[in-house]
Amino acid sequence: MQNGCVPGYTIHPGNEHDSRTFPAICERLKKYDPALMVLDAGYKTPARAKTLPDDGIKPVYPYRRPMTKKGFFKKHEYVYLCPNNQVLCYATTNREGYREYKSDPSFCVNCPYLSQCTESKSRQKNSHETYWGTVP
């Protein structure tokens, strides 16, 4: 890309997430042998963070705030803890590649730290981590 031109586009239904429509346009853009791609936040998924560098393309994303509050993740124990020291158990890996950890809502209902931990109506703390490590 030179001088800020748009090198390609694809057309998809409005209800499809950017991360699902990206492979089609990415394949078209590879013919230009890009060194980097500037992408909006909709494309910032663990899958893109892994596949673009694997193809020799440096992804450039906007800053995104961490998805968990400081101090919750205990790297040496490899678990998430709430302020009341409840372990957030691994629940699933979602389709974007994030590991999801969740608290037990029956424990959280009467927790004195609930407002510090989550604003969720289900009274359940959720934390996410990428399957491939830190998203650049």
Please state, in angstroms and rounded to a whole number, the distance separating the CA atoms of residues 20 and 23: 7
Binning pLDDT at 50, 70 and 90, where does residue 50 land? confident
Q: Would you state the pLDDT for residue 66?
A: 59
If asked whether residues 52 and 84 sit together in one domain, one would say: no
User: Considering the domain boundaries, does residue 102 fall inside one?
Assistant: yes
In a domain, 49, yes or no: yes
Q: Is the pLDDT of residue 21 over 60?
A: yes
Total-model pTM: 0.45
pLDDT at 100: 79
* 136 part of a folded domain: no
The pLDDT value given to residue 95 = 78
Query: Given this model, what pLDDT does residue 135 score?
Result: 37
| Highest-pLDDT range among 30-34, 75-79, 91-95 | 30-34
What would the DSSP string read from start to end of 29-83? Answer: HGGG--SEEE--GGG--HHHHHHHHHTT-EEE------SS-TT-EETTTTEEE-T
Specify the pLDDT at position 102. Answer: 81
> Average pLDDT, whole number, for the chain?
75
pLDDT grade, residue 136 (50/70/90)?
very low
Q: How many CA atoms lie within 13 A of 55 on its CB side?
A: 21
104 shares a domain with 87: yes
What domain range includes position 105? 73-130
